[in-house]
Amino acid sequence: TGSTAYSLSAGGPIVFPSVGCLCLTPICPHTLTNRPVILPDTSTIRIRVRSADGETFLTVDGQTGQPLQQSDVVICRSSEHVVRLVRPPNQKFFDVLRAKLKWGER
């Protein structure tokens, strides 16, 4: 779906498709201490806007930004609904990674 490449370009991990997890990857963090975190897919992530000294927007998958105010809370969790993706039967996860990331090539 593109989320792996986007997270990877921001320093995030590659997550095997059958691993049930939430991957929280900071995008363009202002400090070097922000690192990606892998959480169980049963987790709920709550992000609270602590101050309103600047403009804060929530943007999801490139959609129009939603302005956030001080004390607003954004809640992220896994959906109850499962998405089934169609893949060719001979397509293997690590073969795709090897081809796209050019692993083993000089």
23, 22, 20: which is closest to 10 by C-alpha?
23
Tell me how far apart the alpha carbons of residues 6 and 13 are, in angstroms, rounded to a whole number: 10
Q: What is the pLDDT of residues 23-61, one digit of tens each?
A: 999 888 888 788 999 999 999 999 999 886 778 888 887
Q: What is the pLDDT of residues 56-74, one digit of tens each?
A: 888 887 778 888 999 999 9
Q: What is the pLDDT of residues 4-21, one digit of tens each?
A: 888 889 999 999 988 999
